[in-house]
């Protein structure tokens, strides 16, 4: 995720920026401190962003909370006195606040995933206790030696029917993870991913439409993301 102020955000489309390509970011995150470079060199930023510097100093504010690196905020400061201790602390506090908000959002999402996982475990336990155990008892009875009286057959049939009813009830519960709301569209996401992962050659078949009902947008984009992850993973294993 990227945001800008007084800059066209499209400059960062398809950007692959990391702490390796921006050493100042690694320094700010490792030290958990605002870093100011009075006369930044081209090595301090990826080459494509070096022209954005308009002289003066380069300031990097860490966005980190709970031991998690969320990102950094980069800005240039016109020529003049270096940041005062008060200004550095103010920027550090703003960065920490933004990081805490992002961490809270991540924690909320992870909590939702944990509840979904617990729900699936409960369903599996329900199937085991209410269906598997019942069918296991019937299988033992049918495997016994000797004649199988009519009453026993009727009871076995009733037990199987009950097990099937319990199984039907269990599988009707929602097993899949609900897709999170999205602010984009499938068409826009395909265009973005095709630009970002040009090596995968993502193309839309001629005559195909990417118009998706709003209610199905999150699901469609989730399927697209999973397909991309699978494709990327397959290429990595082959390499």
207 and 166 together in one domain:
no
Is 176 a member of any domain?
no
**Which pLDDT does position 158 carry in this prediction?**
83
Q: Is residue 205 part of a domain?
A: yes
At residue 67, the pLDDT reads 80
Residue 236, pLDDT score: 52
Query: Which of 83, 103, 132 finishes a domain?
Result: 83
- DSSP code string of 111-177: HHHHHHHHHHHHHHHHHIIIIIHHHHHHHHHHTSSS---HHHHHHHHHHHHHHHHHHHHHHTS--SP
pLDDT at 230: 73
Per-residue pLDDT, 8: 67
pLDDT of residue 122: 77
Q: Which of 25, 22, 4, 26 is nearest to 13 (CA)?
A: 4
- pLDDT profile of the chain (239 residues), mean per 10: 62 65 82 84 66 74 86 77 87 90 81 77 75 77 74 81 78 60 83 78 83 84 79 58
Residue 230 lies in a domain: yes
| Residue 186 near residue 159 (C-beta atoms within 8 A) | no
Q: pLDDT at position 175, please?
A: 54
**Domains identified in the chain, total number:** 3
**Is 207 within a domain?**
yes
Domain assignment present for 180? no
Q: Considering the domain boundaries, does residue 62 fall inside one?
A: yes
- pLDDT of 15: 63
Six token digits for residue 197: 């992962």
Look at residue 233 in the predicted model and tell me its pLDDT: 61
CB count, 10 Å around CB of 105? 10
Q: Any idea what the CATH number is for the domain that residue 14 is in?
A: 3.30.450.40
**Residue 89: what pLDDT?**
92
Tally of residues, the chain: 239
**166 plus 193 within the same structural domain:** no
The predicted model scores a pTM of: 0.47
Quick one: 118 and 61 in the same domain?
no
Q: Is residue 106 part of a domain?
A: no
From 228, 183, 226, 197, select the one nearest 15 (Cα to Cα).
Answer: 197
Domain holding 131, by residue range, is 114-171
Q: What is the DSSP string of the chain?
A: ----SSS-GGGGTT----TTT-HHHHHHHHHTS-EEESS--GGGS-GGGGGG--SSEEEEEEEEETTEEEEEEEEEE-SSSPPPHHHHHHHHHHHHHHHHHHHHHHHHHHHHHHHHHHHHHHHHHHHIIIIIHHHHHHHHHHTSSS---HHHHHHHHHHHHHHHHHHHHHHTS--SPPPPP-SS-HHHHHHHHHHHTGGG---PPTT------GGGHHHHHHHHHHHHHHHHHHHHHH-
pLDDT for 93 equals: 92
- Structural domain includes residue 30: yes
Q: In this structure, are 191 and 216 located in the same domain?
A: yes
In this structure, the answer to whether residues 167 and 198 fall within a common structural domain is no
Looking at the structure, do residues 165 and 194 belong to the same domain, yes or no?
A: no
- Listed residues 148, 171, 194: the one ending a domain: 171
Q: For residue 66, what pLDDT is reported?
A: 77
Both 75 and 38 in a single domain? yes
């Amino acid at each position: 995720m990227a945001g800008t102020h007084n800059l066209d955000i499209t400059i960062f489309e398809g950007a692959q920026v990391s702490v390796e390509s921006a050493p100042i970011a690694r320094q700010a995150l490792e030290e958990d401190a605002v870093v100011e470079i009075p006369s930044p060199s081209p090595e301090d930023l990826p080459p494509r962003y070096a022209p954005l510097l308009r002289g003066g100093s380069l300031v990097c504010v860490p966005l980190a909370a709970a031991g998690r690196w969320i990102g950094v905020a980069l800005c240039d400061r016109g020529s003049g006195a270096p940041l005062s201790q008060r200004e550095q602390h103010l920027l550090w506090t703003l960065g920490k606040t933004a990081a805490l908000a992002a961490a809270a959002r991540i924690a909320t999402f992870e909590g939702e995933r944990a509840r979904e996982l617990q729900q699936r475990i409960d369903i599996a336990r329900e199937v085991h206790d209410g269906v598997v155990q019942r069918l296991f008892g019937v299988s033992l009875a049918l495997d016994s030696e000797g004649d199988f009286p009519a009453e026993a057959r009727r009871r076995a049939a009733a037990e199987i029917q009950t097990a099937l009813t319990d199984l039907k009830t269990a599988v009707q519960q929602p097993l899949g993870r609900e897709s999170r709301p999205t602010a984009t569209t499938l068409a826009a996401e395909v265009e973005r991913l095709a630009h970002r992962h040009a090596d995968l050659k993502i193309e839309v078949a001629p005559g195909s439409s990417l118009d998706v009902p709003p209610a199905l947008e999150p699901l469609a984009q989730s399927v697209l993301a999973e397909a991309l992850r699978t494709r990327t993973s397959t290429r990595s294993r082959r390499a």
